[in-house]
Amino acid sequence: MKVTDHISQSTKTLISFEILPPLKGKGIQSLYTHLDPLMEFKPSFINVTYHRSEHIFKKRADGSFEKVVIRKRPGTESICASIMNKYNVDTVPHLICGGFGINETEDALINLNYLGIDNVLVLRGDAAKNESAFEPEPGGHKYAIDLLKQVTNLNAGLYLEEDLKNTSKTKFCIGVAGYPEKHFEAPNMDADLKHLKAKVDAGADYIITQMFFNNEKYFSFVSACREIGINVPIIPGLKPIYSKKQLTILPKTFHIDLPISLSEAVISCKSDEDVEKVGQEWLLEQSKELKKAGVPVLHYYTLGRPQLVANVVKELV
């Protein structure tokens, strides 16, 4: 079922989760162990992130270096199918431009369609580790909107091979990313919102936001979107804080601010267990306020701490 159908058919705030594929070498059971404590909350859908290949330099026996391509977390598409099969819950695979040519993208979409997956979250992806700025594959997509247009084409039965006749139409429900604190490359919020509106005008059905720790940022973002005519559901993305290290890692990685009262509370903790308590309490307060404001879905980035998220959701339902 489509994310937008879940939203339109419900009168209350829904719950969804986001997970990463396991590191290569770990079995699918590690993922089920992560998900098991969350399933009692009957999530409407589960997102599975996509991780592009990386180039690394491996030292040979003779001391020289060899450039090799590795993917640390493969399997997004098949994990989505496994989760649907095991838990009977809808899944949302993330699909990125980086590392993909348009033919591979089309094949990935065809595979998802065959697997009975109705949703995709289309993203540009970040620059590869060895690049200073995002570089598309030769002939690949530069922005998420270009990938989105490929999905809407397929939804209209338009494949890359133009001479295909009587084609089957896919019916993907398309999500895109939005940034309450601005995407770090955008020169200003207005420009970023203009690009977000272009994605919606091109066919995006809903937006999921980057994580934020101050609900006011989400509320202002939603108002700014509505003012410029973005009328699709805007799903807040939420993440728990659970270690002191995150005070520097999260702003550096995700280009977001942490409120002073949160950072001071974390700094004053004596152990990471204390930080978990602070993070859990903060996430619960954020969730309660968002729920009260009537957001369509509370989307939790569960990465690494499913139990902490479960403790919060338990208090909400």
Amino acid identity of 219? F
Rounded least distance, CB 201 to ligand FAD, Å: 12
Stretch that binds ligand FAD, among 137-145, 216-224, 268-276, 306-314 (CB under 6 A): 137-145
Rounded least distance, CB 255 to ligand FAD, Å: 9
| Residues within window 241-300 making contact with ligand FAD, judged by CB under 6 A | none
Give whichever of 191 and 317 is closer to ligand FAD, judged by the CB atom: 191
Q: How far apart are the first and last CA of the chain?
A: 22
For residue 131, count other CB atoms closer than 10 A to its CB. 11
| Residues within window 87-126 making contact with ligand FAD, judged by CB under 6 A | 94, 96, 123-126
Distant-in-sequence, close-in-space partners of 136: CB < 8 Å, separation ≥ 6: 97, 98, 142
Using CB under 6 A, which of 86, 195, 277, 291 touches ligand FAD? 195
Integer Cα distance of 267 and 274 in angstroms: 10
Rounded least distance, CB 164 to ligand FAD, Å: 28
Give whichever of 208 and 262 is closer to ligand FAD, judged by the CB atom: 208
Integer Cα distance of 70 and 83 in angstroms: 25
Give whichever of 145 and 283 is closer to ligand FAD, judged by the CB atom: 145
177 binds ligand FAD (CB under 6 A): yes
| Residues within window 39-98 making contact with ligand FAD, judged by CB under 6 A | 49-50, 52, 94, 96
Using CB under 6 A, which of 39, 84, 186, 284 touches ligand FAD? 186
* Number of residues counted as binding ligand FAD (CB under 6 A): 22
Q: Are 305 and 242 a contacting pair, CB within 8 Å?
A: yes
159 binds ligand FAD (CB under 6 A): no
Give whichever of 76 and 113 is closer to ligand FAD, judged by the CB atom: 76
Tokens of 288: 């309660």
Give whichever of 53 and 82 is closer to ligand FAD, judged by the CB atom: 53
Contact residues for ligand FAD, defined by CB under 6 A: 49-50, 52, 94, 96, 123-126, 143-145, 177, 183, 185-186, 191-192, 195, 208, 210, 237
